[in-house]
Amino acid sequence: MIAAILSLTLLGAVLGAVLGVANKFLHVESSALAGELIEMMPGSNCGQCGFPGCSGAAAAIADGTASPACCPAGGKTLAAQLAAKLGVAVDLSGLSGEGPKIATVAEELCIGCCRCGKVCPTDAILGAARQIHDVLREACTGCASCVEKCPTGALVMRPVPVTLQHWVMPKPLAA
User: Considering the rule CB under 8 A, would residue 19 count as an interface residue with other proteins?
Assistant: yes
User: Considering the rule CB under 8 A, would residue 157 count as an interface residue with other proteins?
Assistant: no
Binding mask 90-119 for other proteins (x = CB under 8 A): ------------------------------
User: Considering the rule CB under 8 A, would residue 57 count as an interface residue with other proteins?
Assistant: no
User: Considering the rule CB under 8 A, would residue 130 count as an interface residue with other proteins?
Assistant: no
Question: How far is the C-alpha of 117 from the C-alpha of 89, rounded, in Å?
Answer: 37
User: Considering the rule CB under 8 A, would residue 8 count as an interface residue with other proteins?
Assistant: yes
State which residue, 104 or 109, has the beta carbon closest to other proteins.
104
SS3 readout for the chain: CHHHHHHHHHHHHHHHHHHHHHHHHCCCCCHHHHHHHHHHCCCCCCCCCCCCHHHHHHHHHHHCCCCHHHCCCCHHHHHHHHHHHHCCCCCCHHHHCCCCEEEEECCCCCCCCCHHHHHCCCCCEECCCCCCCEECCCCCCCCCHHHHHCCCCCEEEEECCCCCCCCCCCCCCCC
Phi and psi at residue 134, to the nearest 5°: -145, 160
User: Which one of 103-111, 125-133, 144-152, 159-167 is the stretch in contact with other proteins (CB under 8 A)?
Assistant: 159-167
User: Which one of 74-82, 107-115, 125-133, 148-156 is the stretch in contact with other proteins (CB under 8 A)?
Assistant: 74-82
In the complex, the smallest distance separating the C-beta of residue 108 from other proteins, rounded to whole angstroms, is: 23
* Contact footprint for other proteins (CB under 8 A): 3-4, 7-8, 11-12, 15, 18-19, 22-23, 26-28, 33, 42-45, 73-78, 85-88, 120-124, 138-139, 141, 162-164, 166-172, 174-175
